[in-house]
């Protein structure tokens, strides 16, 4: 991996992290560029293989699709997982099972970065208080800009350094890993999307019968072999019927 590539990964990784303001904060950042599927595309562009980037991004996305990060508590950090896990697996020429194997431990490391950031930022909060008390209002207003430095340091630096220094190491490790290990990892990685999707079902399913919709969608692919657009159309029809029916019920 070249220096420029690692620098770009660090830069885009920072822009897509949860506390970064640059891309209209979470709108273009955390919830768009920060979703591993979209990150994968950009990583693919930077490393010159868009297709592989998206495939690896989708694999990491599947695991974290049900992850909600409410009010500052963070169960896993998708940022390191995507911006370090995907590029390292890519340069090593490894499959999505290695992207996932890297992503999971990195997501725990990322949580430590989140907690460090919100702890250090206390300094800036109190700095803002003092500036207001002293009547330096314009300076106080700039605190969210100045204080972004903490988040920048905790995002740009590790992503840049680990990608730049780690690429060769990971490539060497992947070369000497025996086939049986890769096989087990692959069986494991093929089951992992279920964890992500179950987390999502947990939020959506209100009664056990709702799972019938899930089975219906499943069968449309596994038996019917339909692609996504027709499935969304069929699902919309079902949703419309439900919408209409529940409205009539209310009027009656």
Subset of residues 151 to 170 that bind other proteins, contact rule: CB under 8 A: 151
Q: Which helix (H) or strand (E) holds 70?
A: none
> Residue 42 CB, nearest distance to other proteins (Å)?
8
Separation between Cα atoms, residue 151 and residue 157, nearest integer Å: 10
Q: What is d(CA 10, CA 18) in angstroms, rounded to the nearest whole number?
A: 14
Instruction: Kindly state the smallest distance separating residue 192's Cβ from other proteins, in Å.
Output: 7
- Per this entry, what is the length of the chain? 252
**∠ CA 243-211-67 to the nearest 5 degrees?**
90
171 is a site residue for other proteins (CB under 8 A):
no
Measured from the CB of residue 126, what is the shortest distance to other proteins in angstroms? 9
How many other CB atoms are there within 10 angstroms of residue 210's CB atom?
11
**How far is 161 from 123, CA to CA, in rounded Å?**
26
Distance of CA 71 to the CA centre of its chain: 17
For other proteins, the binding residue among 85, 147, 158, 166 (CB under 8 A) is: 147
Binding-site member from 7, 11, 111, 140 for other proteins (CB under 8 A): 140
- Footprint (CB under 8 A) of other proteins, residues 198-217: 198-206, 210-211, 213-217
DSSP calls for 168-224: HHHHHHHHHS-HHHHHHHHHHHHHHHHHHHHHHHHHH-SSGGGHHHHHHHHHHHHTT
Q: Tell me which stretch binds other proteins (CB under 8 A): 8-16, 83-91, 138-146, 155-163.
A: 138-146
Q: Which stretch binds other proteins (CB under 8 A): 7-15, 44-52, 82-90, 169-177?
A: 44-52
Interface of this chain with other proteins, residues 55 to 94, rule: CB under 8 A: 55, 57-59, 61-62, 65-72, 75-76
Q: How far apart are CA 30 and CA 28, in angstroms?
A: 7
Closest distance of CB 76 from other proteins, Å: 7
Mark 96-135 with x for binding to other proteins (rule: CB under 8 A) and - for no binding: --------x------------xxx-xx-xx--xx--xx-x
By C-beta, is 67 or 109 nearer to other proteins?
Answer: 67
């Amino acid at each position: 991996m070249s220096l420029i590539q690692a620098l770009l990964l660090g830069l885009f990784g920072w822009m897509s992290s949860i506390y970064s303001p640059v891309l209209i904060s979470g709108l273009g950042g955390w919830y768009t560029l920060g979703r591993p599927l979209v990150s994968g595309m950009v990583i693919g562009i930077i490393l010159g293989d868009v297709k592989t980037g998206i495939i690896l991004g989708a694999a990491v996305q599947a695991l974290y699709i049900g992850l909600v990060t409410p009010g500052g508590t963070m169960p896993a950090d998708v940022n390191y997982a995507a911006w370090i896990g995907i590029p390292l697996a890519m340069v090593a020429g490894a499959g999505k099972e290695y992207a996932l194997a890297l992503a999971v431990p990195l997501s725990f490391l990322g949580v430590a970065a989140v907690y460090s950031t919100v702890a250090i930022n206390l300094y800036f909060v109190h700095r803002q208080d003092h500036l207001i008390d002293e009547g330096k209002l314009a300076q106080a207003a700039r605190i969210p800009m100045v204080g972004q430095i903490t988040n920048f340091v905790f995002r740009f630096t590790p992503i840049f350094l680990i990608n730049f220094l780690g690429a060769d190491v990971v490539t060497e490790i992947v070369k000497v890993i025996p086939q049986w290990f890769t096989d087990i990892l692959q069986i494991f990685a093929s089951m992992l999307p279920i964890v992500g999707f179950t987390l999502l079902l947990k939020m959506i399913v209100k009664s056990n019968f709702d799972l019938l919709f899930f089975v219906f969608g499943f069968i449309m692919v596994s038996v019917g072999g339909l692609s996504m657009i027709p499935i969304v159309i069929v699902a919309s029809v079902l949703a419309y019927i439900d919408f209409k029916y529940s409205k009539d019920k209310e009027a009656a």
